Amino acid sequence: MSPPTPRILKMALDTPLAIEFDYRWRPESADDPNPTVGQLAQVPFGRREVIGLITAIHESSDHAPEKIRDITAIRYQLPALSAHWIALSRFAAEYYQRPLGEVVLPCLPKNLRALKSTALDSALKKVTAPESPTKSEPSSVPQLNQDQQVAVDAITAVSSYSTTLLFGVTGSGKTEVYLRSAQKILERERQQGGRAQVLILVPEINLTPQLENSVRARFPELNVVSLHSQLSEGERTRSWLSAHLGSADIVLGTRLAVLASMPDLKLIVVDEEHDPSYKQQEGLRYSARDLAIWRARDLNIPVVLGSATPSMESWHHAESGRYRKLVLTQRAAAQAVLPNISLIDMERIKASEGLAPPLIAALRERLARGEQSLLFLNRRGYAPVVHCDACGWISNCQRCTAFMVLHKPERRLRCHHCSFELKIPASCPTCGNVDLQPLGRGTQRIEEYLHTLFPEARVLRIDADSTRKKGSAQAAFETVHRGEVDILLGTQMVAKGHDFQRLTLVGVINPDTALFSHDYRAGERLFAQLMQVAGRAGRAGQMSKSEVLVQTRYAQHPLYRALLGHDFPGFASATLEERRSAGLPPYVFQALLRAESKTLTNALEFLQQARALLPHPGIVINDPVPMTMTRVAGVERAQLLLESNARATLQNFLKLWVQELRKHPSRLRWTLEVDPIDI
């Protein structure tokens, strides 16, 4: 028997070159299996060996035979990635204007891309090894209220594509709807003799353990895995392989999980779909929510977007009928009602160390009753800046257009943008004054004052500084859930997704800065943030009425008036009308070209040249401008905003424009972001 005929394999490699490379596969014997599209292979590239993905197989190549190099090895032990997965990756590459290789390879675990396959082989053995069935009993299943039952029935009524916006007040039991829907779909597919997998996305890593524990307790007989960036490489590889081999029934994860290989995917859930964390800000700048919707359409399966404060884009689609809207109007827990929201007018009331007397009194009242309180301040550190009264010196970062934040416990000044650190100076670097003062308040300073104010209280601060070690955030939240904390103080980490059963008071400190941001999305994000953190109170139906106190100097602002009535539909309607009038998303489509250079002049000149590269009918290209945070880590940054009334028009232009940009190599670094969320 003669050996199989040689083939030309098209390979996607992790390079900035927007092409796929031809390689020759030469079988050594008749027993060699034929390669298939979707397999990984090791190939020579320049002077090194790399791992690539086979995207096509041909009989011949357009290149001269002597220029085509041979495949080194094919990873036959790993089942091929599906055509649907490759289609998802190709769509992401084309839509976000990146080479296919820069999409498919980085989203795979490093152990799959390693030249030595020992780690992959070891992980495959662990994943495929038979496990003894679990003997634990499933957790109790709460009874659904009418709204929840209607939502579950609607989501599971059909198995074809649909996008559902599940809009429910905080504490309305959206997670229970997800779990019931997943259960029904998994059971239905099994009864029909098929296999099924469910993907549930959450916006932040610290929400994953709580959800994973709930899902495992509910479905002890199922294989539940997590995918997020804080997993060790071995853990991530095993979870990814479980999903890829079909042995994982439910995959929980952050945005990167949307690109996981799941051959039997039958339902996608995107929890807190409005959250900006779903937008990747490095490399492939994708929206996990948007890719989830495209993936569901491609697979012809349902996708559920859940939120108490949907994004303006999703709300617009739901109101126009493009998405189906399901509404949960009441809280799921018996006797649980939404907290009463009140404003503390800081123009009339003098605060003490950032806390107004009504808020201090409310904290004292909760301590007396043995109930928990939450203080929300979205600014970590001790103080935003240190200054000198004598000469006006302030603690600017030497490398960024930002202040260095005082971190008092560590006695350091730290830039939150480039991580540059200095010891707190003993005297003013300009005039020698030894009486340097902190300006403003961060979580560390409020924590210090709380210990002085309530020495008997158990105060816990949760922010990025207090939870740096792996597992520390989960341990901190478990302490709160056990009732071992009286006052929880934190940043946005504490604002969403957590079910604090003993919490009856939420205090919001200094939210006003977002009202005057240059970013047109700032108001939307502030409203969502305040609604989310307010929703942490009164979730268990406590005897005492729960309340939310918001300290503000702008008590008459329309955003706060809508907040008082928990009126998201009213806020969204007004916001969408403003955006329609101003010509902003979702009524226009945008892309942003950013340039980074050692000098701002070079960055702006590059953008000006890029602006003139091609004619652009149907496209508005604005003037290049410095970014708001102009300098980060010693690098100057500028940006160029493109807008169009038609998505297709913008996409067609970007494809040609990026090709032209790549033909004009520049020493500076540039990146293109489609559908930017920070402008």
Q: Are residues 374 and 494 in the same domain?
A: yes
Q: Which residues of 305-326 are buried (b: 16+ CB within 10 A; e: fewer)?
A: bbbbbbbbbbbbbbeeeebbbb
How far is Cα 601 from Cα 607, in angstroms, rounded to an integer? 10
Distance CA 386, CA 676 (A): 33
Residues 226 and 288 in one domain: yes
Domain that holds residue 544: 340-571
Q: Are residues 28 and 78 in the same domain?
A: yes
CB-CB contact of 373 with 500 (8 Å): no
pLDDT at 334: 66
Q: Where is the domain boundary, 538, 571, 604?
A: 571
38, 64, 82 - which closes a domain:
82
CB-count burial class (<10 Å; 0-12, 13-18, 19+) for 515: middle
- At residue 218, the pLDDT reads 92
Q: Does residue 472 surpass a pLDDT of 90?
A: no
Mean residue pLDDT across the chain: 92
Distance (Å, rounded) from C-alpha 563 to C-alpha 570?
A: 10
For residue range 265-281, list pLDDT tens digits in order.
999 999 999 999 999 99
Task: Say if residue 183 is in the same domain as residue 227.
Answer: yes
What would the mean pLDDT of 72-97 be, rounded to a whole number?
96
Calpha distance 533→496 (Å, rounded): 6
What is the pLDDT confidence band of residue 409, given thresholds at 50, 70 and 90?
confident
Identify the band that residue 29 occupies on the pLDDT scale cut at 50, 70 and 90.
Answer: confident
- Give pLDDT, residue 209: 82
163 and 289 Cβ atoms separated by less than 8 Å: no
Residue 96 maps to a domain: no
The terminus-to-terminus CA distance of the chain in angstroms comes to 64
Query: What are 110-168's pLDDT values in tens digits?
Result: 999 999 989 899 999 888 875 655 566 777 888 999 999 999 999 999 889 999 999 99
Q: What is the CATH number of the domain that holds 298?
A: 3.40.50.300
Confidence of residue 3 (pLDDT cuts 50, 70, 90): low
Q: What sign results for the dihedral spanned by CA atoms 98, 102, 104, 108?
A: negative
- Per DSSP bridges, beta strands 162-168 and 324-328 are parallel
Kind of pairing between the strands at 436-439 and 421-423: unpaired
The predicted pLDDT at position 129 comes to 72
Q: What is the pLDDT of residue 315?
A: 98
Residues 457 and 531 occupy one common structural domain? yes
Residue appearing with tokens 């011949």: 60
Residue 531: inside a domain: yes
DSSP 299-325: HT-EEEEEESS--HHHHHHHHTTSSEE
Claim to verify: residue 556 and residue 670 sit in the same structural domain: no
Whether 277 and 407 map to the same domain: the answer is no
CA distances from 329 to 318, 506, 567 (A): 16, 21, 12
Separation of alpha carbons 193 and 656, rounded Å: 47
In percent, the amount of the chain with pLDDT more than 90 equals 76
**pTM metric for this prediction:** 0.93
What pLDDT sits at residue 4? 66
In-domain check, residue 288: yes
Quick one: 410 and 503 in the same domain? yes
Asked whether residue 417 falls in the same domain as residue 550, the answer is: yes
**Residue pLDDT, tens place only, 124-140:** 988 887 565 556 677 78
Mark whether 48 and 189 lie in a shared domain.
Answer: no
What CATH code is carried by the domain that includes residue 40? Answer: 3.40.1440.60
pLDDT tens digit sequence for 221-243: 999 999 998 899 999 999 999 99
For residue 90, being part of any structural domain is answered with: no
- Residue ending a domain, among 33, 55, 82, is 82
The string of pLDDT tens digits covering residues 485-511 is 999 999 988 887 777 888 999 999 999
Mean pLDDT of all residues in 341-363: 94
User: Is 510 found in the same domain as 370?
Assistant: yes
In a domain, 521, yes or no: yes
Domain containing residue 622: CATH number? 3.30.310.180
Whether 163 is in a domain gets the answer: yes
CA–CA gap between residue 614 and residue 611 (Å, rounded): 7
Number of independent structural domains in the chain: 4
Q: Is residue 576 in some structural domain?
A: no
Q: How far apart are CA 585 and CA 50, in angstroms?
A: 41
Q: How many CB atoms lie within 10 A of CB 512?
A: 15
Q: For residues 260 and 241, what is the distance between their CA atoms, to the nearest angstrom? A: 9
Q: How confident is the model at residue 35 (pLDDT cuts 50, 70, 90)?
A: very high
In a domain, 138, yes or no: no
**Which tokens sit at 398?**
């030497």
Neighbours of 70 (CB within 10 A): 12
Q: In what order do the strands lie in the sheet with 503-508?
A: 340-345, 547-552, 503-508, 372-376, 487-490, 459-462
**Coarse DSSP helix, strand, coil percentages of the chain, rounded to the nearest 5 percent:** 35, 25, 45
Token match 């708001």: residue?
Answer: 628
Same-domain status, 494 and 352: yes
Closest CA to 374 of 449, 486, 207: 486
